[in-house]
Amino acid sequence: MAPALDSLGNGARVLVIRLRSLGDCVLTTPALKLLHEFRPDLEIAVAVEPRFSAVFEDNPAVAAILGPSPRTVREWKAELAVNLHGGARSLWLTLASGARLRAGFGHYRHRWAYNVRIPRAQEILGEERTVHTAEHLASAMFYLGVPRREVPRAELFAAPAARTAPYAVLHPFASAPEKAWPAERFAALGRHLRREHGLEVVVIGAAGDDFAPFAEFETLRGAPLAEVKRLLRGAALFAGNDSGPAHMAAAFGVPSLVLFGASDPRIWGPWRAPAEVLHAPQGLAAIPLERAVEAAERLRARTW
């Protein structure tokens, strides 16, 4: 059977569905780049929740950013819809698109909805190993007809924040308590970076996060994602828990120190970016401050 892309005429429209979350959206950008570079004639739209749409803004591979409504995706008139999200909502959006070709991974529920069923990434890549999320998403493009090549780094696009002094960005928060390194150790790491390397320290987080342990630092609380992008774009260093901002920093090539608890960094680690990963499956409290400081120093020696 010929690859799906072979049946798309010049200038055809493609719909890629990636509703959320922040890290997953960032790690979709290598797949978009692969598709765009192979078929620059195609018009690619991404259906995404509005709170994450800034991930795809100014991306040259993306012709349109669509809200995740049936009417909106239907009006795009895609010939190919690629569901990279999974789940019931993305299924209905795939069907609502009216696309002649509907692609989804073979492990998705309701396989009947897809007339292009994408195998496991390991099967596509020909390697029976743990694959990174960026590889998993990119493998879909290889199956659709993009020639196999190295999966590129994730990419975000933004002008840097208007700052003159070098600075580090800390993201000491997480979606669950077990994914967060103790706040007092993040604060101590920030003091070390300020004292030993002359870096200003900016702590970022959501509006509902507890910033009390970081009162001595500049903070960016609940800022729009586009503003966080600009801040990360110009950072000299990022340090944070396994979370969306860590993937954003990696997409800008910012040297990153990322702390992992139960999550597997082989699947979720910084993708093709200078990084130090500290992994403590037994709990992040097991990582002492000294290990984080040593990792930051190794990053400094390699990248600064």
* Whether 140 and 12 share a structural domain: yes
Q: Residue 192: pLDDT above 90?
A: yes
Q: Residue 277: pLDDT above 90?
A: yes
Residue 176: pLDDT band by 50, 70, 90 thresholds? confident
Residue 2: pLDDT band by 50, 70, 90 thresholds? confident
* Whether 229 and 101 share a structural domain: no
* Whether 27 and 77 share a structural domain: yes
User: What residue type is assigned to position 279 of the chain?
Assistant: H
Q: What is the pLDDT of residue 179?
A: 87
CATH of the domain at 213: 3.40.50.2000
Q: Residue 304: pLDDT above 80?
A: no
* Whether 98 and 137 share a structural domain: yes
Mean pLDDT of 158-184: 93
> What string of H, E and C letters represents the secondary structure of the chain?
CCCHHHHCCCCCEEEEECCCCHHHHHHHHHHHHHHHHHCCCCEEEEECCHHHHHHHCCCCCCCEEECCCHHHHHHHCCCEEEECCCCHHHHHHHHHCCCCEEEEECCCCCHHHCCEEECCHHHHHCCCCCCCHHHHHHHHHHHHCCCCCCCCCCCCCCCCCCCCCCEEEEECCCCCHHHCCCHHHHHHHHHHHHHHHCCEEEEEECCCCCCHHHCCCEEEECCCHHHHHHHHHCCCEEEEECCHHHHHHHHCCCCEEEEECCCCHHHHCCCCCCEEEEECCCCHHHCCHHHHHHHHHHHHHHHC
CA 270: distance to chain centroid? 9
Q: Is residue 160 part of a domain?
A: no
Mean pLDDT of 286-293: 98
| pLDDT tens by residue, 206-264 | 999 999 999 999 999 999 999 999 999 999 999 999 999 999 999 999 999 999 999 99
Measured CA to CA, the distance from residue 291 to residue 280 in angstroms comes to 12
Q: What is the pLDDT of residue 193?
A: 97
* Whether 37 and 125 share a structural domain: yes
Contacts of 95 (CB under 8 A, 6+ apart): 102, 113
Q: Is residue 213 part of a domain?
A: yes
Q: Residue 9: pLDDT above 80?
A: yes
| pLDDT tens by residue, 78-99 | 999 999 999 999 999 999 999 9
Torsion of CA 205, 206, 209, 212, to 10 degrees: 50
Contacts of 300 (CB under 8 A, 6+ apart): 197, 237, 255
User: Domain boundary at 110, 144, 178, which?
Assistant: 144
> What is the chain's Cα-based Rg?
20
Q: Residue 1: pLDDT above 80?
A: no
Q: What is the pLDDT of residue 183?
A: 97
Mean pLDDT of 11-17: 98
Q: Is residue 151 part of a domain?
A: no
* Whether 195 and 249 share a structural domain: yes
* Whether 107 and 25 share a structural domain: yes
Q: Is residue 157 part of a domain?
A: no
* Whether 38 and 128 share a structural domain: yes
Which position has the higher pLDDT, 275 or 177? 275
Mean pLDDT of 142-147: 98
Query: What mean pLDDT value characterizes the chain?
Result: 96
Q: Is residue 155 part of a domain?
A: no
Q: Is residue 150 part of a domain?
A: no
* Whether 122 and 14 share a structural domain: yes
Q: Is residue 247 part of a domain?
A: yes
Q: What is the pLDDT of residue 302?
A: 85
Q: Residue 20: pLDDT above 90?
A: yes
**Domain assignment of residue 269, given as a range:** 167-303
- Could you give the percent of the chain with pLDDT greater than 70? 99
Mean pLDDT of 168-176: 94
Q: Is residue 149 part of a domain?
A: no
| pLDDT tens by residue, 22-59 | 999 999 999 999 999 999 999 999 999 999 999 999 99
Tally of structural domains, the chain? 2
* Whether 232 and 123 share a structural domain: no
Measured CA to CA, the distance from residue 58 to residue 223 in angstroms comes to 19
